[in-house]
Structure 1
Amino acid sequence: MASRGRRGGASAREDEPRRDDQAEQQAPAPRGPVLPPLPPVDYGVFMQGLVQAMQTQAHTQEALKAQLKAQVD
């Protein structure tokens, strides 16, 4: 009777990786269109655009501050 609890102990541990493998194999295929890979990013161009956007924002902010100051005065 004492050996009854040990019967499936080792085999259950051996089965666990197989269950994981089966779960991965049975995963459903993705639905919808398969998109092509994204083109490579040119970080130099990205940074130039980012700097330009920040400069534009700063100029806009200054112009709005000047407008507000002119209205108050």
Structure 2
Amino acid sequence: MASRGRRGGAPAREDERRRDERAEQQAPAPQGPVLPPPPPVDYGVFMHGLVQAMQTQAHTQAALQAQLEAQICLDGACERCTARKS
């Protein structure tokens, strides 16, 4: 047998060509215009914005928590407020 160690008897080049053809058939066709790559990211600016966003979130959360506690006290459901009224 001329193709020792290979099943099917197909030469190596023919197998490679078939594999390449299958890969081309399976690749999805691009849809719409091809866009240029995005600009490089300045990670210093990115991190600064991220820290600012996290600080803003923390301040907003603290303000909402204080507002909620004040509303609970106005409703008379807060233990501190009910103790003061007695």
TM-score of the superposed pair, with normalisation by structure 2: 0.63
**What residue is the counterpart of 1:16 in the other structure?**
15
Q: Percent identity?
A: 67
CA distance in 2, matches of 1:51, 1:66: 23
CA offsets per residue over residues 18-44 of structure 1, 9 Å max, x none? 112223456575231110111000000
Q: Aligned-pair RMSD on alpha carbons?
A: 2.5
Unaligned runs of 5+ in 2: 2-6, 74-86
Task: Report runs of 4+ in structure 1 exceeding 3 Å deviation.
Answer: 23-29
Q: Which has the larger radius of gyration?
A: 2
Q: Whose relative contact order is higher, 1 or 2, with alpha carbons under 8 Å and at least 6 apart?
A: 2
Cα 1:72/1:28, change in 2 over 3 Å = closer
Greater share of residues in helix: 1
